Amino acid sequence: MRYRQLGSSDLQVSEISLGSWLTYGVGVDAENAAACVHRALDLGINLIDTANIYGRGAAESFLGAVLSGVRRDRYLIATKLFFPMTETDRGLSRAQVEKQLDASLKRLRVDTIDLYQCHRHDPETPIEETMLALSDAVKAGKVRCLGFSEWPADQIQAALEVAGAEKFVSSQPQYSLLWRRPERDIIPLCRDNSISQIVWSPLAQGVLTGKYLPGAPPPPDSRATSDEMNGFIDRLMQPSVLEAVQRLKPLAAEADLSLGQFALAWVLKEPNVASAIIGASRPAQVEENAAASGAVVSPDLFTEAERIMAEALA
């Protein structure tokens, strides 16, 4: 496993990280989920990403239990706040930062969260209030570093300009061969301000592994067939997209990689990306994806892959 510096922080994060969106505490049985976490740690994956909203606390509680016997220096825990936890608890006000942070610490069974992220921008709270509340959490030792997910560029810039506030060190955007929007504004802005990307859905919820075949039903044990995990995948299951993905297989084979490894290596070729978050329901998936770290691929193969996908998405 290779490691990269996370923005301007002192954290070194594994190129592949383990996520828990729609999976742990929700869509994957506890035994398999625990096996995935422990296999990830064995392979050198040190960054584990979650959020308070995942299962309304269930993912954090699951990870807290699974990691309770693991040496604290073996992993970095990243979680988030913003989305409604109750009818009245939501957003990024000072009161919510304090309340949700304490609740996450308790569920995760840790004294400090390594990376605390704003899951979305909160238009109802002044940016100064949010950033100063987060900064106080860092000063109190409850949080080491700060990040955000899917913020617009103007709000990222506004946060960076808050006087006396801690600076963000990470951005968590959706980014893959099927979703390249961050290249336009977010990656350049972050690069200029020592903010790294921690990418979610680098495999487009499994579509870029090639397991979904055009004109065929999805595999019975896949995310697409799970009521708990398939709510966001429909837009990716278009025949033209699935056909294009199949055309990537010879390129991956030429690089001596599986298609999933090839897609992860494509994300990691961007220097501003510190880590790509994978989801896994079986330890074998963790093993395969972890092997993408450090992969060396000819730029010509990536260029052809980009052309194929751009043609399909057009």
3-state secondary structure of 168: strand
pLDDT digits (tens, 9 = 90+) for 69-106: 999 999 999 999 999 999 999 999 999 999 999 999 99
Task: Give me the active site residues, please.
Answer: 54
- pLDDT exceeds 50 at position 224: no
The pLDDT-based confidence of 215 (bands split at 50, 70, 90) is confident
* Residue 198 neighbours by CB under 8 Å, 6+ apart: 6, 13, 17, 47, 49, 78, 147, 170, 171, 172, 273, 274, 275, 276, 277
- pLDDT exceeds 80 at position 227: no
Q: In 71-222, which ranges are continuous DSSP H helix?
A: 94-108, 127-139, 153-160, 186-192
Q: What is the mean pLDDT of residues 215-241?
A: 62
Average pLDDT, the chain: 93
CB 66 within 8 A of CB 37: yes
Angle, CA of 276, 281 and 284, to the nearest 5°: 80
Pairing of strands 47-49, 76-81: parallel
The CA distances from residue 155 to 139, 152, 199, 236, in Å, are 23, 6, 19, 29
Residue with tokens 């055309």: 247
- Percentage of the chain modeled with pLDDT above 70: 94
CA–CA gap between residue 68 and residue 276 (Å, rounded): 24
Determine the pLDDT at residue 23: 80
- pLDDT exceeds 70 at position 197: yes
- pLDDT exceeds 60 at position 38: yes
Q: What is the mean pLDDT of residues 48-62?
A: 96
- The residue ranking higher by pLDDT, 277 or 28, is 277
Determine the pLDDT at residue 232: 55
Q: How many Cβ atoms sit within 10 Å of the Cβ of residue 148? A: 27
- pLDDT exceeds 70 at position 226: no
